């Protein structure tokens, strides 16, 4: 997915000065953002309250949207650098095309993992004939300096490992939990797990205490360590947790995100992650000049998304702000 804001704000991310060295329960309600003409999403990261959870740098939650009479998701070719995109559906299907020639449809329970690295471009569309509801999350993972120039790649994992216990069905998208390890390629210690909870579930998950974690209420809500987590909200859990207890009264789907606090400072603007304002400006100029860095999306019928105007003030990396 692309940040379609006509005037995207520059985000300065990274550094661990504001990462609490203890467990916390900070509810981040996020904000509604219009993406293009038809789609509204809840932007949960970055927000004023928090900019990163491990290397997770961007979290949009959308739907469920009734797209029976519309075209659904229509995101024209656009570029990325320095990040991975993790596409996760609860309902619906998405057709992904990219400049590597990937041409893949995926649905709920399948991991679509795109590593932009040096540069890639892609499009995302609801198939012409699509299910009635579209519901999912679009997540970005910042790449560390050692990996941000890797060759671009696209992985589609239709079957993922997981485990069940006490009313929970867990599916591991990224990293490892409960003895299950995702086949998805990660470049920093990272965790992403879909938690499908039955009504009346009461589970305690073992966590890596060196990680920071957050839980997204993707469908329904839950009680997390006594705190309520609602649909479309993100609950930041801090660091230093060895376990988290989750209880439900009604069925719920949560997304558990975690990772080692990301120490490098970086600049995020539009669909790019870089390390300086000059680098970001170069990416934007190269995209508009159809530079070979981003290739050409194979098989997409239509125009590309132009880069928005760069902000008038130079983008400078700084420490993490709250």
Here's the x/- map for Mn ion, 2-21, by CB under 5 A: it reads as: x-------------------
Asked whether 120 and 140 are in contact (CB, 8 A), the reply is: no
Closest CB 78 distance from Mn ion, rounded Å: 6
Asked whether 318 and 11 are in contact (CB, 8 A), the reply is: no
Closest CB 161 distance from Mn ion, rounded Å: 26
Q: Which is nearer to Mn ion, 76 or 205 (CB)?
A: 76
Q: Which residues face 11 on adjacent strands?
A: 268
Closest CB 123 distance from Mn ion, rounded Å: 8
Closest CB 184 distance from Mn ion, rounded Å: 17
Q: Which is nearer to Mn ion, 247 or 291 (CB)?
A: 291
Q: How far apart, in Å, are the Cα atoms of 87 and each of 32, 185, 252?
A: 19, 14, 19
Q: Which is nearer to Mn ion, 138 or 182 (CB)?
A: 138
Query: Binding to Mn ion (CB under 5 A): which residues in 54-83?
Result: none
Q: Which is nearer to Mn ion, 38 or 181 (CB)?
A: 38
Closest CB 296 distance from Mn ion, rounded Å: 15
Here's the x/- map for Mn ion, 91-110, by CB under 5 A: it reads as: --------------------
What's phi and psi for 321, nearest 5 deg? -115, 155
* DSSP state letters, 280-307: HHHHHHHHHTT-GGG---TT--SPPPPP
Binding-residue total with Mn ion (CB under 5 A): 2
Q: Which is nearer to Mn ion, 112 or 222 (CB)?
A: 112
What's CA 164's distance to the chain center, in Å? 24
Closest CB 71 distance from Mn ion, rounded Å: 18
Q: Which of 320, 305, 309 is nearest to 280 (CA)?
A: 309
Q: Distance between CA 57 and CA 15 in Å, rounded?
A: 12
The structure tokens listed for 23 are 């467990």
Closest CB 236 distance from Mn ion, rounded Å: 24
In terms of Cβ atoms closer than 10 Å to its own Cβ (0-12, 13-18, 19+), residue 153 is middle
- Kindly state the helix (H) or strand (E) to which residue 278 belongs, with its residue range: helix 277-288
Helix (H, G, I), strand (E, B) or coil at 24: strand
Here's the x/- map for Mn ion, 108-127, by CB under 5 A: it reads as: --------------------
Q: Which is nearer to Mn ion, 297 or 310 (CB)?
A: 297
Query: Binding to Mn ion (CB under 5 A): which residues in 249-308?
Result: none
Closest CB 108 distance from Mn ion, rounded Å: 19
Number of other residues whose CB lies within 10 A of the CB of residue 317: 18
Q: Which is nearer to Mn ion, 83 or 205 (CB)?
A: 83
Q: Which is nearer to Mn ion, 126 or 248 (CB)?
A: 126
The structure tokens listed for 217 are 């209420």
Q: Which stretch binds Mn ion (CB under 5 A): 1-9, 181-189, 255-263, 285-293?
A: 1-9
Contacts to Mn ion by CB under 5 A? 1-2
């Amino acid at each position: 997915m692309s940040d379609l804001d006509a005037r995207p704000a520059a985000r300065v991310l990274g550094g661990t000065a504001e990462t609490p060295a203890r467990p916390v329960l900070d509810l981040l309600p996020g904000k509604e953002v219009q993406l293009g003409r038809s789609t509204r999403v809840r932007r949960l990261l970055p927000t004023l309250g928090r900019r990163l959870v491990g290397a997770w740098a961007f979290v949009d939650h959308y739907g469920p949207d009734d797209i029976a009479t519309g075209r659904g998701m229509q995101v024209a070719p656009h570029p990325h650098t320095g990040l991975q995109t993790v596409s996760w559906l609860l309902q619906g299907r998405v057709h992904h095309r990219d400049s590597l020639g990937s041409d893949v449809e995926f649905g709920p329970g399948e991991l679509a993992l795109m590593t932009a690295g040096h540069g890639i471009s892609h499009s995302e569309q609801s198939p012409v004939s699509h299910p009635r509801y579209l519901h999912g999350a679009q997540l970005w993972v910042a790449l560390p300096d050692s990996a941000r120039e890797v060759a671009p790649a696209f992985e589609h994992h239709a079957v993922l490992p997981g485990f069940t216990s006490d009313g929970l069905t867990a599916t591991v998208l990224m990293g490892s939990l409960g003895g299950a390890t995702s086949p998805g390629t990660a470049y920093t210690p990272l965790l992403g797990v879909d938690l499908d909870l039955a009504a009346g579930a009461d589970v305690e998950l073992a966590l890596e205490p060196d990680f920071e974690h957050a839980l997204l209420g993707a469908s329904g809500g839950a009680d997390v360590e006594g705190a309520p987590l609602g649909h479309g909200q993100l609950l930041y859990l801090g660091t230093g947790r060895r376990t988290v207890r989750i209880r439900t009264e009604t069925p719920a789907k949560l997304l558990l995100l975690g990772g080692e606090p990301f120490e490098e400072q970086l600049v995020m603007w539009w669909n790019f992650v870089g390390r300086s304002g000059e680098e970001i400006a170069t990416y934007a100029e190269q995209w508009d000049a159809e530079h070979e860095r981003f290739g050409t999306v194979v098989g997409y019928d239509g125009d590309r998304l132009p880069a928005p105007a760069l902000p008038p003030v130079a983008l400078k990396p700084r420490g993490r702000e709250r």
